[in-house]
Amino acid sequence: MSIYKVNHFINGEFVDGVSGEYSDIYNPAIGEVVGHVSRANDEDLDRAVTVAQKAFNSWSKVTPLRRSRVMFKYKALLEEHMDEMAAIISREHGKVIEDAKGEIIRGLEVVEFACGAPHLLKGEYSANVGTEVDCLGIRQPHGVVAGITPFNFPAMIPMWMFPMALVCGNTFVLKVASHDPSTANLMATLLQKAGLPDGVFNVVHGGRQVVQGMLHHPDIKAISFVGSSTVAEIVYTTGTKNGKRVQALGAAKNHAIIMPDADLDMVADNLMGAAYGAAGERCMAISVAVAVGDKVADTVIEKVKERIPNLKIAAGDVAGAEMGALYSKAHLEAVTNYIAEGVEEGAELVVDGRPLTGSKGYEKGFFIGASLFDHVKPGMKIYDEEIFGPVLCVCRVPDFESAVELINNHNFANGTAIFTNDGGTARAFSDQIQVGMVGINVPIPVPMAFHSFGGWKASIYGDFAMHGMEGIRFFTKLKTITVRWPQGSISDPEFVMPTH
């Protein structure tokens, strides 16, 4: 396979970066370089922002109905090119083809929601709030907005951002992870085919320099970010300090409580998919199973242990593959080190996924098997930190109250779940748990596009969740207009706060 090149997309064209510098793109399944991606500098970013600012002057005046029609066409093109996009994702990220299609569909759902822009942007109106006085609220775009997205969902997470931003009348500059950049360029091409004017959507590839440039650029009015909590906090504090609206989603450590009355076979099946699907590289992966009672813990561990050998680990394009490679060699080493530290800290390693040699032709791939720990406790790194790999930790607690307390004490609060057949327990869990997204017998409770996605605590910085009506509110600013068209003579001057 020949080495390909991924360039920036600015003002409707693919262009080389000014610096001429490139980063390597690996195929994680074979562990070899398959492409190179341009690295932007401040000049590249400024060019993208400049054309986006110019495009905003006209795009913001396009009616919501016409903007939504572009999204309708984009949706059709996404469906037409889904196989192509899934293959690109699998090649550069390492996830299996069917999982790649799944993320495209979840992103496409946000596109479908954004098609409702004429309704979503209707605003509000109150007649006769005072004598001959009406009041209306309208939502207007910010201008140029930016998105910074991680490696693990190269299609879905960008589509949680830019469809909402564009139908609201903003123009967009996207920076994706350099590990799997080609999906963003394909999305740019499809948007152009859908009729989006040049300059409205731009892609600038690169690393920290681009992020810093976005945080300080005076013409970028809002930034949407997904990544680690360490970086999320920096993005939020720096961006807001520079007068920008910022939503910054960070890390997670998602727990699932398993009650004694749960169907434990169903639980084991759900844990397999939730913990090991996408090789655990999901911010909504279940990485901690909280078993209520030793009997529950013993049974769940035995059932998961029985299922792990049947997990088909292979390159993402292999038929029937259920788990692919990790996205990079450095991350493979990091996950391996977490497993070693878990053993050193006293957790029981029931199933060890190290090392895993790829099948024939994939010996150099970044593969690791599924690992299972028992007797994991707070204070251990494998419990406190986000591993972002196929590692499931089991914590044992005596009762429901202890399980809730354990989860509520964790610094991350993205998603959580409970497995139970008791409605009262489920209701108590929903009320008492201090986590942003909750599942009842649903292991990965990612909301549909017409609801909003976002955690609590250190899993999010900022006041806005993503997509749904929260997305509309984030990518617009409220303007309230009070109107009077007097039908008689103008009243005498008033020198007190108006009350009528």
Tell me: do 206 and 246 sit in the same domain.
yes
Is residue 499 situated within a structural domain? no
Q: How far apart are the first and last CA of the chain?
A: 75
> 305 and 175 share a domain?
no
In a domain, 494, yes or no: no
| pLDDT (tens place) for every residue of the chain, 500 residues total | 689 999 999 999 999 999 999 999 999 999 999 999 999 999 999 999 999 999 999 999 999 999 999 999 999 999 999 999 999 999 999 999 999 999 999 999 999 999 999 999 999 999 999 988 999 999 999 999 999 999 999 999 999 999 999 999 999 999 999 999 999 999 999 999 999 999 999 999 999 999 999 999 999 999 999 999 999 999 999 999 999 999 999 999 999 999 999 999 999 999 999 999 999 999 999 999 999 999 999 999 999 999 999 999 999 999 999 999 999 999 999 999 999 999 999 999 999 999 876 666 778 999 999 999 999 999 999 999 999 999 999 999 999 999 999 999 999 999 999 999 999 999 999 999 999 999 999 999 999 999 999 999 999 999 999 999 999 999 999 999 999 998 866 667 777 777 76
Whether 189 and 295 map to the same domain: the answer is no
Q: Let me know if residue 77 belongs to a domain.
A: yes
Check which CATH number belongs to the domain holding 372 and give it: 3.40.309.10
Asked if residue 495 belongs to a domain, the reply is no
Is 329 within the bounds of a domain?
yes
Domain membership of residue 486 (yes or no) is no
Distance CA(283)–CA(287), nearest Å, equals: 10
| H or E stretch covering 417 | strand 415-419
**Together in a domain, 230 and 291:** no
Separation between Cα atoms, residue 91 and residue 88, nearest integer Å: 5
130 is a domain residue: yes
Both 216 and 246 in a single domain?
A: yes
For residues 258 and 245, membership in a common domain is answered with no
Active site (catalytic) residues: 283
What CATH number is given to the structural domain containing 114? 3.40.605.10
Say what the pTM is.
Answer: 0.96
Claim to verify: residue 172 and residue 314 sit in the same structural domain: no
How many angstroms separate the Cα of 450 from the Cα of each of 113, 114, 250, 398? 6, 9, 22, 38
Residue with structure tokens 């320099």? 209
Q: Where are the alpha helices (DSSP H) in 225-380?
A: 229-241, 264-276, 294-307, 329-344
- Count of the separate structural domains present in the chain: 2
Residue range of the domain that includes 38: 4-250+459-481
**Angle value at C-alpha 88, between 448 and 91, nearest 5 degrees:** 110
Q: Is residue 288 part of a domain?
A: yes
